[in-house]
Amino acid sequence: MRESKKSVNYKLLRVERTIAVYKKNEHEPPVNEIDINIPLEPLQTIIHSNVDDTSLFDGYLLNQIQLSQINKLINNKIDADFESYDYILECTGIYDW
């Protein structure tokens, strides 16, 4: 029997967000993953989420303006190279299984 979505969310301990750095035009794992510790509310003002993803669980390709705004909120500044890399906001749920 499948667990309901509600019960899965009940087991969610925390959400970890990273900015994954991918080489453009390559289908390889990220070359870097940068942990960011930004509360959801400020991120919601930066990222224009999908209608059904207000918690920003989906991955989002960041543009220069968005990354600049995120850089203002983090200590480990990202020195971006948009000609060579894509920057994706990613989310991982940590669950109590």
For residue 34, the model assigns a pLDDT of 95
Task: List the chain domain ranges.
Answer: 14-95
For residue 13, the model assigns a pLDDT of 87
pLDDT tens digits, residue range 81-97?
999 999 999 998 888 87
User: pTM for this one?
Assistant: 0.84
**Structure-block tokens of residue 79:** 């020195």
For residue 5, the model assigns a pLDDT of 52
Low-confidence ranges of the chain (pLDDT < 50): 1-4
Q: Which CATH number fits domain 14-95: 1.10.3470, 1.10.1760, 3.10.50, 3.90.1170?
A: 3.10.50
